Structure 1
Amino acid sequence: MFSRKPTGDPAEPPAPVLDDMEAARASMLNGFLVMQEALAPAFDAADGMRADLVARGWSPAMAEMLVATWLQRTLMNLTPLIGGPQQ
């Protein structure tokens, strides 16, 4: 009689409480995942450009250097600057 559990719908378990450090880690992780998804097309294009240059007879080292320069400039253009024209 005293060992019986109450009948009915069990209550939802409480949501875990995150301390400030865990909340900051979760926020950073989410930001990194969003950034990875946004920048993936630029890295894919760079891989394709490098493969195309090598297929056209460029040396792999020169193709890598050209594509690295292009990728660096592309990433700089995609990064908003404080007070810059992209705001």
Structure 2
Amino acid sequence: MRAFQTCECLSAVLRAVLLTECLLMGVRGDGADSEEKLEIKYLLIGAGIGLFLAAVFIVVKVCIIRKHLRENITASLARVEPSKPIREPRGS
């Protein structure tokens, strides 16, 4: 059963690679080469914006998690009742 699951995983990866290659292929109707040079300036701008947004997302998520932890700790401390003195039975 394990080998069959691995085969499905490889099949899915192969399909994803082929689909990505097909989608990224440049085709022109006039028969000319579609080899366009990537401009490094725009590549760096896009990568910088992407990294900035990813960093902001991670910082916001960490802040939200810390806030929830603080709220849960204060709420659990407020729920704790002080220990009550133990009463001895009256018949003794």
TM-score of the two chains, using structure 2 as the length reference:
0.31
Q: Which has the higher contact order (CA 8 A, sep 6+)?
A: 1
- Structure number, greater radius of gyration: 2
**Higher helix content, 1 or 2:** 2
TM-score of the two chains, using structure 1 as the length reference:
0.33
